[in-house]
Amino acid sequence: MATGAITTLEPLIAGKSGYAEAQEVGPLTDQQRQAASFNLRVAQAAIQDNLPLVSHPDNGDEELYADKGATFTKCLPHDNFGRVDLNAYASLINALSTGNPSDFNAIPLGGTRTLNNPQAGLAYDLEGTDGHNLAVAPPPVMSGSQLAAELVEMYWAALLRDLPFINYATNSGAIAAAAELNRLSGYAGPRNGSGQVTTNELFAVVSRAKPWAPMSPS
């Protein structure tokens, strides 16, 4: 065991601040360290347990479209028109609802590709708050102007993917892309101080939503 003064985590939580204080103390025995670690974890768990529950909003597209054309159906069977098999889709929803591994194994698939860890959302993480009590903003609706603008942006990004950023200001394609995005009312990407989309803002990496921001309590 190390000797001399060491810095350890105070096992009590610092009042309303919600974080553990580091305190200069003498050497701890293995048992003392174990107890301090336990007390700290319990106190942190209590803080997380007292957080308000968040809501999990959706954009309504699943209920709006009977063929589930605006909903995730990857890896499920589809017909020649790209429409998902509704029985297979119902099987996926059932598995997500029950959380039963056997129900996940019973989901019909449309080929050799499998669903990528569909039970991940049911797992518990011992670091930080429970992932179920974090929320993401609902995506734009399929029939809305924001999604249309995002598709336009993606198509332009595909066309200009090999163009060096340094050439954006003088390239006719990049100039046209910025001009078109600037005209779209649903475009939620970056704009300059004058509210315009120029080649300086084109395809800039920004957070268009705050995916981990607390939603209103349910």
For every residue of 80-141, DSSP letters joined together read: TTSPBPHHHHHHHHHHHHH--HHHHHT---SSS---S-TTGGG---SSSS-GGG---PPPPP
Q: Say if residues 148 and 186 touch (Cβ distance below 8 Å).
A: yes
Q: Could you give the CA distance from residue 112 to residue 141 in angstroms, rounded to a whole number?
A: 30
Q: Which domain holds residue 72?
A: 61-133
Q: What is the pLDDT of residue 25?
A: 56
Q: What phi and psi, each to the nearest 5 degrees, are found at residue 11?
A: -70, -10
How many CA atoms does the CB half-sphere of 162 hold within 13 Å? 1
Query: Domain check: are 66 and 99 in the same one?
Result: yes
Query: Which one of 98, 133, 168 terminates a domain?
Result: 133
pLDDT tens for each residue of 169-187 = 999 999 999 999 999 999 9
In a domain, 56, yes or no: no
Query: Domain check: are 114 and 162 in the same one?
Result: no
In a domain, 54, yes or no: no
Beta strand extents in the chain (DSSP E only)? 6-13, 20-25
Query: Which one of 133, 159, 174 terminates a domain?
Result: 133
With a threshold of 0.85, does the pTM exceed it? no
In a domain, 1, yes or no: no
Query: Domain check: are 66 and 38 in the same one?
Result: no
Q: What is the pLDDT of residue 11?
A: 44
Query: Domain check: are 182 and 209 in the same one?
Result: yes
Query: Domain check: are 164 and 105 in the same one?
Result: no
Instruction: Say how many domains are in the chain.
Output: 3
pLDDT tens for each residue of 80-136 = 999 999 999 999 999 999 999 999 999 999 999 999 999 998 999 888 889 899 988
Q: Say if residues 200 and 175 touch (Cβ distance below 8 Å).
A: no
Tokens coding 180: 């078109």
In a domain, 150, yes or no: yes
Query: Which one of 87, 111, 133 terminates a domain?
Result: 133
